[in-house]
Chains A and B, each alone.
Chain A
């Protein structure tokens, strides 16, 4: 018998009686507030920021103000062109010099301040991780309440080949328990509503 058959056969022999363990119905528990305020509070707990337009400034102006030293601003959204278009990146490694990636999230989750990105939003998956910073456009209408509603209602989980929920920037506490925001992925994550 090959490995597959050996394993499956052992599991069939050894498992507890399936009748005793019925599948519980899908649960929707907890706070169902899908509001922007809850999203922002959660985002900040995970170390994310909100990029607020000052005096009606444009997205470009806000990015320039927030990241004055950025040289390569790589845009995957029509709202700005940055200094380069994401579509021009050919291989995953091409994103290595990107200072700021500008992308649009498919949706956000109020409970955790998470934003969802997939290959539908990212011409190159690595862009979201090799960039030093990420600016995420999010429509307030696309916020879902919590993890239950997200997995039950958002179709993206079933269509994307790669789908990532980013909840604030990368972080680590592996050295003596000190929390460091900006570990190996993006150093900061800013959400621009619109």
Chain B
């Protein structure tokens, strides 16, 4: 995997060139944000729910080893096989072995961001396992060989015509279809036989309850429940931070999750798994993959509170106008920009800059993660670790020198004000300064505040000073 920093700005530029896709993407995500607001306004207890959710998550993270052990003990008691994976490679190996033990050649799965982190599909496919994504958006992305561009709506950057083109190739449907209903039906018809003949099913988990050994999957399409109840082998891949202590805690989180994500009161399916079904076998793989290290980062550990609702993405002006794929990472948007650098500081060093720091992400976060503050803190860390592009570093260096010396600064400012009206636009609009793109110069002022102050105020101040 390349270690070169993701060029988010350039990818965003390409996204901006495509007007129809950009317009739909921006409006669709903003619509989700507005539906979320409607739900919020219907619940007077909304802020109390957020505070409660945040407290429960912080508590759980501070006692994560104990709660994981409690979950494991209860899950085992109920007949679940529990596995632990330090990283993606170990996770993939475990899943591969379970499938091999059962002679399983076909796996149907519902959406799971952790399996994306682990890059599981290519691993299994190399070993002769056919992996079929059953979530519609995730399936579209699989057929198009792209990462999900959004953690809740993976194909949100595509239009109906894109889906029609992709399905025409793989499902032999008419590429001219423009009715999403027909395409969704095509997915249903194509998925059914695969589901009925699958050797194994896989899901992720949104929440894990320590006191009962339950894991909970929240979905809308019914594909996760089909994946879990039709094949007799069910494997669940779960990030270790998904824990909550008590069954009663689910009340708080289920009330927040879909309202924050899609603006619906609840997902169509909220499925609780506490043991294998009759005649079946159930495995849980608990995945660390950097989470235990993140817990030790004093400025960033609270990002582990995330319940993957995507509200921060829907509200973010940068995300809405650059698209999830431009982040070049499994997690995109504001939450991605604070999580991704923990996986690879160099590769994702540009992502904390993909923000205006307006704070909207923090305001909508159902578990009160201070996302925009963490974005700012990441910038500081990256500068300290020298993970900053050369030009940006040099400009900041010069600016630092200038601003540290008042006389030099004032001289520079008055020159700038003259230059703004006299110099060609080249001064600001050149390759050294990508900020200038899509932005216009401010109108130059005739006089700086400092020179005005000197001319008008110095005498008056000394006079009034004299009356005292």
Chain A residues close to B by CB (< 8 Å): 2-4, 6-8, 10-18, 20-24, 26-30, 42, 45-47, 92-93, 96, 111-112, 114, 119, 125-126, 128-130, 146-152, 157-158, 160-178, 180, 183-186
Residues of B within 8 A of A30 (CB): 43-45, 255
Is the CB–CB distance between A3 and B269 below 8 Å? no
From A16, A148, A171, A176, give the contact of B251 (CB < 8 A): A148
Residues of A within 8 A of B330 (CB): none
Whether A170 contacts B268 in the complex (CB less than 8 A), given A15-B65, A150-B251, comes out as: yes
Is the CB–CB distance between A3 and B84 below 8 Å? yes
Give chain B nearest CB distance to A190 CB in angstroms. 15
Contact with A along B72-115 (1 / 0, CB 8 A): 00000010000011100010000000000000000000000000
Q: Considering only CB atoms, which chain A residue lies closest to B264 in the complex?
A: A46
Verify if B438 is at the interface (C-beta below 8 Å from A). no
Q: Considering only CB atoms, which chain A residue lies closest to B80 in the complex?
A: A161
Give chain B nearest CB distance to A41 CB in angstroms. 11
Give chain B nearest CB distance to A166 CB in angstroms. 6
Residues of A within 8 A of B184 (CB): 172, 174-175, 180, 183
Give chain A nearest CB distance to B396 CB in angstroms. 31
Is the CB–CB distance between A10 and B230 below 8 Å? no
Verify if B63 is at the interface (C-beta below 8 Å from A). yes
Is the CB–CB distance between A161 and B273 below 8 Å? yes
Give chain B nearest CB distance to A149 CB in angstroms. 8
Is the CB–CB distance between B183 and A175 below 8 Å? yes
A168 to B272 CA separation, bound complex (whole angstroms): 17
Is the CB–CB distance between A178 and B222 below 8 Å? no
A21 to B254 CA separation, bound complex (whole angstroms): 22
Show 13 A/B contacts (Cβ-Cβ < 8 Å), sorted by A: A7-B292, A11-B292, A15-B63, A16-B62, A30-B45, A148-B251, A148-B255, A158-B247, A171-B220, A172-B137, A176-B160, A183-B184, A184-B223
Whether A166 contacts B269 in the complex (CB less than 8 A), given A17-B62, A175-B184, comes out as: yes
Is the CB–CB distance between A8 and B251 below 8 Å? no
Whether A10 contacts B293 in the complex (CB less than 8 A), given A15-B62, A157-B272, comes out as: yes
Is the CB–CB distance between B62 and A119 below 8 Å? no
Verify if B31 is at the interface (C-beta below 8 Å from A). yes
From A6, A163, A176, give the contact of B24 (CB < 8 A): A176
Verify if B180 is at the interface (C-beta below 8 Å from A). yes
Interface stretch (choices B119-127, B151-159, B357-365): B151-159
Residues of B within 8 A of A148 (CB): 248, 251-252, 255
Is the CB–CB distance between B250 and A151 below 8 Å? yes
Whether A22 contacts B181 in the complex (CB less than 8 A), given A12-B65, A93-B230, A184-B221, comes out as: no
Is the CB–CB distance between B266 and A163 below 8 Å? no
| Interface residues in B188-221 (C-beta closer than 8 Å to A) | 188, 191-192, 196, 212, 214, 220-221
Query: With A11-B65, A177-B31 given, can you name 12 additional A-B contacts, CB distance below 8 Å?
Result: A3-B86, A3-B90, A7-B292, A15-B64, A16-B298, A24-B56, A46-B265, A158-B212, A161-B277, A162-B277, A168-B268, A174-B156
Report, nearest first, the 4 A-B pairs whose CB atoms are least far apart: A185-B222, A14-B296, A170-B222, A174-B137
**Most-contacted residue by chain B among A7, A11, A46 (CB, 10 A):** A11
Contact with A along B51-65 (1 / 0, CB 8 A): 010011011011111
From A23, A150, A162, A178, give the contact of B271 (CB < 8 A): A162
A177 to B27 CA separation, bound complex (whole angstroms): 10
A45 to B266 CA separation, bound complex (whole angstroms): 10
Residues of B within 8 A of A163 (CB): 271-272, 274
Whether A185 contacts B226 in the complex (CB less than 8 A), given A161-B273, A167-B267, A169-B268, comes out as: yes
Residues of A within 8 A of B355 (CB): none
Residues of A within 8 A of B288 (CB): 3, 7, 10
Whether A92 contacts B86 in the complex (CB less than 8 A), given A119-B278, A165-B266, A169-B268, comes out as: no
A96 to B276 CA separation, bound complex (whole angstroms): 21
Contact with A along B36-48 (1 / 0, CB 8 A): 0000000111001
Whether A180 contacts B181 in the complex (CB less than 8 A), given A11-B292, A114-B266, comes out as: yes
